[in-house]
Structure 1
Amino acid sequence: MSFEISKTHSLLAQAMDYRAARQDMISSNIANADTPYYKPRDISFQDALIAQKNELYDKEKPKLQMARTNSRDLEPKSESNTVKPTLFFRDGHMARNDGNSVDIDVETTEMSKNSIMFNAIVMANKKDAAIFKSVIDASAKVN
């Protein structure tokens, strides 16, 4: 039997994994700042997390089923979460003479923003766990 603390717990864990992967990607971009013809890479996962959130929180809503009046009618498409994080090359910066387009200022800014978001997710996870801990502590005091 699986025990789920809350719906947001798995979503927060997935968001932390994506943020950690993005931090690694940005670090790789900085490490390759002097590599000829290197293009900076990035990862976009907001759409994947939004789709995951919608799937988690919209399950309780009743879905209207399509009526089939004839056996030859087409089957309705099943909804599935096929949105995945996408890897892309961050473009739009002037390439240097060696073809490298890594901008250290952009990379350090993105790393700082990603680090702040990672820390915010960690704090949200701690708050989520603290709520359940307080409930357990309060129920232990009840005779």
Structure 2
Amino acid sequence: MPSEGLFGVHGAALEVRSQRMGVLASNIANASTPGFKAQDVDFQKALAAVENSASTGGNASITGVLQYRVPSQPSLDGNTVELSTEQTAFAENAVAYQTTLSFLNGRIGQITRALRGE
């Protein structure tokens, strides 16, 4: 049985959330870099891209679905990172990542028990 059948959409969701975490961390790390343009991920498009690459045997990547953020208050140095926005998005994504991971761990536990005949 393919892993998609065992884990449903959750495996792909974990991959997208992991990659998004990297994008958001990069935004936060570059908050004071002149000219840096903050990016984020459209979760639904990224999930579809990851699921499609998994079904075709390709590498899962969100590169094609990255979008630049439009700041509410542009900076004079051209940097579009708004630290509070990035920190909030990072925290929300971390909670969603942990929730997805917990679900997958529970599912793996169920499969393990089933294989043992418990």
**TM value normalised by structure 1:** 0.64
Q: Does 2:105 align with 1:105? A: no
Larger Cα Rg: Structure 1 or Structure 2?
Answer: 1
Identical residues among aligned pairs (%): 25
Aligned partners of 1:93 and 1:102 also within 8 Å:
no
Bigger share in helix:
2
Any residues of structure 2 matched to 1:6-85 within 5 Å, and which? 7-9=5-7, 11-49=9-47, 52=51, 85=62
* CA deviation after TM superposition for structure 1 residue 50, in Å: 5.8
> Partner of 2:117 in structure 1?
138
CA distance, structure 1, for counterparts of residue 89 and residue 73 of structure 2: 17
Structure 2: stretches of 5+ with no match in the other structure: 56-60
| 1:5/1:89 CA distance change after superposition, 3 Å | closer
Instruction: Output the CA distance in 2 between the equivalents of 1:6 and 1:23.
Output: 22
Q: TM-score scaled by structure 2? A: 0.76
Distance change (3 Å), C-alpha of 1:131 and 1:5: farther
**In 2, Cα distance between equivalents of 1:93 and 1:106:** 10
Q: How many residues align?
A: 108
- The list of structure 1 runs, each at least 4 consecutive aligned residues, that deviate by more than 4 angstroms after superposition, is none
Deviation for aligned residue 1:119: 0.5
Partner-residue secondary structure (3-state), 1:46: helix
Which stretch has the larger CA shift, 36-45 or 3-12? 3-12
Against the structure 1 CA distance between its residues 49 and 98, is the aligned structure 2 distance closer, same or farther, given a 3 Å change threshold?
closer
Counterpart in the other structure of 1:129: 108
- d(CA) in 1 for partners of 2:25, 2:4: 32
What SS class does the counterpart of residue 9 from structure 2 fall into? helix
